[in-house]
Every structure is written in structure tokens, then in C-alpha cells.
Amino acid sequence: MTLQKIISGGQTGVDRAALDACLELNFPCGGWCTAGRSAEDGPISLRYPLVELQSPYYDDRTRRNIIESDATLIISKGKLSGGTLLTANFTRHIGKPVFIFELSPFFIDNTFDNLCDFMETYQVSTLNIAGPRASQWDKAYESAYHIVKLLIKHVRQ
């Protein structure tokens, strides 16, 4: 696998979990965030290596992370909505690969194998990770954290 870096926008939930997993495992990470480093829980901590855009709009941050990556991984449960749906739509609109990791207790192993195949097929070097914020899905952080740690460990094998 060619994965070299993981990026996200730093929002609570999936974004933050991806960055925390990278930081814990010393895996390169970063991404773009809004002006003022805004998130639903206040300013994003400086411990996250994010670059601030001049724009305060989440949509602009989302688009920049998609454009700067080779592919996007969306980790979700249930129907996509809000910023997660915007991410999926914009990624498809500009013709970038997107993998939607639909969380289910019955299919996580199969889905993880499919994710690894996706990463190989598209030779993903920089992966954008997105999904619901913490207020939209109470298991967003722990689910994404587990998946990203598995992915990093798989890359290092």
C-alpha cells in the first residue's frame, strides 16, 4: 500500500479521530481547517497540524481537503447527510475516488478488506478522511479511531 499521509478537517467525530489515531501512531497527518480553526466544540487545538484557510466556511475546508488528496474515505453509519453528504457529492463531482465505509457490526472485516483493495487499486498516497461530527453520531469518534488505527497498522505491515 502506498499511503503516506492522512488528512481531515479537524471537526469533532470522524475527522478528529483520524488525526488522533495518526498522532498516536506517529503517522503523517494534516489537512485544512476553517479560519479561526472553528469546530462544533470551539477552536481546534493547535496539537492538530492543520492549515487554516482564510474562509470561515466548512464547505470550503471540505473541498480543499478533497482536492488535496488522492481519494476520500467516508466513515459513516446510516444515510449520509449534511457535510458528509456534501463530501461524497463533491468528491464524485470532481471525479476523485471515494470509499464509503458503512459501519455494521456484521461486515466490518469484509468492509476493511474492501477498503484495503480500494487503497491498492487507486494507489492512494494522501487519504482524506471524513464523516459525521460527534453531535450527529455518538459512536463517530470511537468507530473512526478504530478503523484508522487498523488502516495504519495494515500499511506498516
Neighbouring C-beta atoms of residue 109, cutoff 10 Å:
8
CA distance 138 to 4: 29
pLDDT for position 104: 74
CATH number at residue 68: 3.40.50.450
pLDDT digits (tens, 9 = 90+) for 78-131: 899 999 999 999 999 999 999 999 887 665 667 899 999 999 999 999 999 999
Residue 74 is predicted with a pLDDT of 97
Q: Whole domain around residue 88: which residue ranges?
A: 5-156
Q: Are 87 and 99 in contact (CB under 8 A)?
A: no
Mean pLDDT of the chain: 95
Kindly report which listed range (49-58, 60-69, 104-113) carries the lowest average pLDDT score. 104-113
Residue 108, pLDDT score: 61
Confidence of residue 27 (pLDDT cuts 50, 70, 90): very high
Helix orientation angle between 58-67 and 82-93, rounded to the nearest 10 degrees: 40
Report the pLDDT averaged over residues 61-70. Answer: 98
What spatial distance separates the first Cα and last Cα of the chain, rounded to whole Å?
A: 9
Q: Is the pLDDT of residue 149 over 90?
A: yes
Condensed to tens digits (0 to 9), the pLDDT of residues 38-52 reads: 999 999 999 999 999
Q: How far is CA 16 from CA 29, 95, 118, 122, 131, in A?
A: 11, 26, 23, 24, 10
C-alpha cell at position 43: 477552536
* Number of domains comprising the chain: 1
Which CA distances in Å does 121 have to 2, 3, 75, 129, 149?
10, 12, 19, 17, 21
